[in-house]
Amino acid sequence: MTDLLNDLLIRNARPYGDEAVDLLVQDGVVTGIGTGLTAPEGTEVFDAGGHVLLPGLVDLHVHLREPGGEESETIETGSHAAALGGFTAVFAMPNTDPVADTAVVVEHVRRRGEEVGLVDVHPVGAVTTGLKGEKLAELGTMAASAAQVRMFSDDGRCVNDPLIMRRALEYASALDVVIAQHAEDHRLTDGAQAHEGAIASRLGLAGWPATAEETVVARDCALAREAGAALHVCHVSSLHSIAVLRAAKAQGVRVSAEVTPHHLLLTDGRLTGYDPVNKVNPPLRTGADTQAMREALAEGVIDVVATDHAPHASQYKDTEWAAAKPGMLGLQTALSVVIHTMVEPGLLDWHGVARVMSERPAEIGNLPDQGRPIAVGEPATFALVDPDAQWTVRGPALASRAANTPYEGMRLPGAVVATVLRGRITARDGKVVA
């Protein structure tokens, strides 16, 4: 990636919330950590104000909508949102137009990300041609392309056909890449509009049963075991899926899982006003599910938080419920929601936040220079967080082109003060540093 390699002295930062130190950064790498450090003349000095320093956040699941959906987001606006949210790497899902199912499209996404230069944009390749679920896309060609695709997914759709999924996992094993599954048996969710339960019944919305997720997770864990392949389960939403994941992990299946911030915090209780901002796939579920998600994330059965950042322009959201597209913004609110749901109740400390939002995602996504320890010799790739700040979410003030945040008007804890990518400050005090 093309970076200007600045030298930087970061004063008074608390790595993982521990003791305050200074960090000297040269050519994008940490070359000194200590107290009272001095820097060569001309080095930029950055006062970190005693805030918490984390490795730069890594998001395994975003929708940047480019190519083809630029009315909702672009790689540029999505990169702005990512940098402001503390992210230094994101994985862009392939449900674009054209679909990212060829080397040409994934290379375009990667190149555009590099041109914007705020965050490493890693294209996710489609598993099947056109996301149709019928024929495997050319995974090997995309993996070998300049985009170096390391994750494949039909996200938005499930790879429902077990034979196609089996073949995909066999290829994934041979290519050393990961298949990220959107676990939803479409036969069970035909026409679904909301979590199948008391609230959907009362509102007259067709139900999305939790079993549609759980059964696909169980099937795919068996297929991944047989293929010896790495399977990643996108946006786990049902507490029943957790037992399946726990059992598979205990058997040594190479399975990882993510939960979204909205499935940690929001429930189907929000649906009573029929506001489509709450429509998302998989749907918001019950308080028992959100509680189970939090506990599974703390325990490590769910490995990571991924946003499923899904911008939709107002013409796709300001409609009646049934016509609205599913999805919600996530990049600029993710860390605050994790602080609120996980740090404040004592389920995770800052090391834990670094684990679920940076270290494990970088491992799963196979990124050798992200999610690294804050230590001498390591890349200077950080998120600096003021844990005591509070802010009120306003959709139009977010950097995304769309404004479909479910947290509108909510007061959330924690603010990203700065983001640093290989020694370059990409965001500072709520503004992108171009």
Minimum distance from residue 258 beta carbon to ligand DOR (Å): 12
Residue in the structure block whose two tokens are 């320890």: 373
Minimum distance from residue 420 beta carbon to ligand DOR (Å): 29
In whole angstroms, what is the distance from residue 278 CA to residue 172 CA? 34
Minimum distance from residue 96 beta carbon to ligand DOR (Å): 9
**Shortest CA distance to 384 belongs to which of 36, 56, 114, 164?**
56
- Residue 77 touches ligand DOR, criterion: CB under 6 A: no
- Residue 303 interacts, among Zn ion, ligand DOR, none and using kind-specific CB cut-offs from 5 to 8 Å, with none
- Residue 184 touches Zn ion, criterion: CB under 5 A: no
- Residue 95 touches ligand DOR, criterion: CB under 6 A: yes
Contacts of 41 (CB under 8 A, 6+ apart): none
- Residue 258 touches Zn ion, criterion: CB under 5 A: no
In whole angstroms, what is the distance from residue 311 CA to residue 68 CA? 13
Minimum distance from residue 327 beta carbon to ligand DOR (Å): 3
Which of residues 66, 155, 220, 258 is near ligand DOR by CB under 6 A? 155
Minimum distance from residue 260 beta carbon to ligand DOR (Å): 9
Minimum distance from residue 146 beta carbon to ligand DOR (Å): 25
Which of residues 125, 261, 326, 423 is near ligand DOR by CB under 6 A? 326
- Catalytic residue IDs: 308
> Whose Cβ is closer to Zn ion: residue 97's or residue 344's?
97
- Residue 281 touches ligand DOR, criterion: CB under 6 A: yes
Give, in degrees to the nearest 5, the angle at Cα 180 between 154 and 265: 100
| Options 190-198, 227-235, 246-254, 357-365: segment touching Zn ion (CB under 5 A) | 227-235
Residues 176-215 that bind ligand DOR (CB under 6 A): 182
In whole angstroms, what is the distance from residue 178 CA to residue 341 CA? 28
CA atoms within 13 A on the CB side of 89: 27
Contacts of 205 (CB under 8 A, 6+ apart): 193, 194, 271, 321
E-assigned strands of 321-434? 382-392, 411-421, 424-428, 431-432
Per-residue binding string, Zn ion, 124-163, x by CB under 5 A, is -------------------------------x--------
Which of residues 14, 166, 182, 263 is near Zn ion by CB under 5 A? 182
Size of the site for ligand DOR (CB under 6 A): 12
Which of residues 82, 165, 310, 367 is near ligand DOR by CB under 6 A? 310
- Residue 76 interacts, among ligand DOR, Zn ion, none and using kind-specific CB cut-offs from 5 to 8 Å, with none
In whole angstroms, what is the distance from residue 366 CA to residue 362 CA? 6
**Shortest CA distance to 416 belongs to which of 390, 384, 382, 392?**
384
| Options 108-116, 270-278, 325-333, 363-371: segment touching ligand DOR (CB under 6 A) | 325-333
- Residue 167 touches ligand DOR, criterion: CB under 6 A: no
> Using CA atoms in the order 173, 178, 179, 180, what is the torsion angle rounded to 10 degrees?
160
Q: 193 to each of 67, 185, 207, 286, how far by Cα in Å? A: 27, 14, 6, 15
Neighbouring CB atoms inside 10 A of 236's CB total: 29
Residues 4-63 that bind ligand DOR (CB under 6 A): 63
Bridge partner residues of 392 (DSSP): 411
> Whose Cβ is closer to ligand DOR: residue 327's or residue 361's?
327
- Residue 305 touches ligand DOR, criterion: CB under 6 A: no
Phi, psi of 295 (to 5 degrees): -65, -40
> Applying CB under 6 A, which residues contact ligand DOR?
63, 95, 155-156, 182, 280-281, 308, 310, 325-327
> Applying CB under 5 A, which residues contact Zn ion?
155, 182, 234
